[in-house]
Amino acid sequence: MDERWDEHTIGRALADPKLREQAFTQMVRQYSEPLYWRIRRMVFYHADADDILQNTFLKAWKHVAQFQNKSKVFTWLYRIAINEALDFLRKQKNTLTTSVEDVSSLAQMMLADEYFDGDEAEAILHAAIATLPEVQRMVFTLRYFEEMKYAEMSELLGTSEGALKASYHLAVKKISAFIQTSN
* Domain segments of the chain as ranges: 1-98, 100-182
Q: Write the class of the CATH domain 100-182.
A: mainly alpha
CA-closest candidate to residue 142, choices 162, 166, 168, 122: 168
Whole-model pTM: value is 0.72
Residues 68-85 have pLDDT tens digits of: 888 789 889 988 998 898
**Rounded distance between C-alpha atoms, residue 105 and residue 23, angstroms:** 43
Q: Model confidence over 87-142: pLDDT tens digits? A: 888 787 655 544 444 544 555 555 455 555 555 667 778 778 878 887 888 899 88
- DSSP labels for 49-90? HHHHHHHHHHHHHHTGGG--SSS-HHHHHHHHHHHHHHHHHH
The topology (CATH level 3) of 1-98 is Rna Polymerase Sigma Factor; Chain: A (1.10.1740)
Amino acid, res. 13: A
Integer Cα distance of 131 and 95 in angstroms: 11
